[in-house]
Amino acid sequence: MKKNPYKISIFCLDKDNLQQKNYVVLQTKYSELKKRNAEEIRKNCFVRIGKIKNIKAKKKAHNFRIQLLRFYTFVMKIQIIKSFIQKCQWQQEFQKVITKQYRKNRKQKGKEQKIMKNNYDIKTRTRIDFLMKAYIATTTL
């Protein structure tokens, strides 16, 4: 049996000719694609499988396509997380906000402390929410 007997065409948008809707077609195998540069893969838009009459071959092609798409999302995930960490440095930000709030709460005792816990500075709370949401979004793509 041949490995990947069907042709898979990956269409990449040509950035210079966006108005003309020109597509660059690459005929590749999954193993070859893995070796490719992540930057190149990131630009890929969609995967299309040619007409296959044999049902078994069709199923194989479909599974292969899913594999490819998973690989794309994996590459995208890495790049999004990298850029996110570079831009926000969310860990440091998050740590700063939490320690500030903890110190504030520790200073006050009894009822005052309870009030602080319930409605502490709205700005810091929204900041924490945003950071957490953004982090969760990057990890669960």
Contact between residue 25 and residue 10 where contact means Cβ atoms under 8 Å apart:
yes
* Residues 39 and 93 reside in one and the same domain: no
* Residues 24 and 77 reside in one and the same domain: yes
| pTM, rounded to two decimals | 0.24
* Residues 77 and 96 reside in one and the same domain: no
* Residues 30 and 74 reside in one and the same domain: yes
* Residues 77 and 94 reside in one and the same domain: no
Q: pLDDT tens for residues 67-87?
A: 666 666 666 655 655 565 555
Contact between residue 47 and residue 65 where contact means Cβ atoms under 8 Å apart:
yes
Range of the domain at 99: 89-139
Is pLDDT at 93 greater than 50 in this prediction?
A: yes
Final residue in a domain of this structure, among 38, 57, 82: 82
- What is the CA angle 30-31-37, rounded to 5? 90
Token pair, residue 22, equals 């020109």
* Residues 94 and 78 reside in one and the same domain: no
Contact between residue 13 and residue 46 where contact means Cβ atoms under 8 Å apart:
no
* Residues 77 and 93 reside in one and the same domain: no
Decide if 3 is inside a domain.
no
- What is the CA angle 18-24-25, rounded to 5? 150
Q: How far apart are CA 134 and CA 17, in angstroms?
A: 33
* Residues 93 and 58 reside in one and the same domain: no
Q: How far apart are CA 87 and CA 80, in angstroms?
A: 10
Q: What is the mean pLDDT of the chain?
A: 52
Decide if 1 is inside a domain.
no
Q: What is the pLDDT of residue 89?
A: 55
Token pair, residue 58, equals 């069709």
The single residue listed with the structure tokens 């700063």 is 96
More confident residue, 133 or 30: 133
Q: What is the pLDDT of residue 16?
A: 43
Alpha-carbon distances, residue 54 vs 5, 14, 17, 77 (angstroms): 12, 33, 37, 34
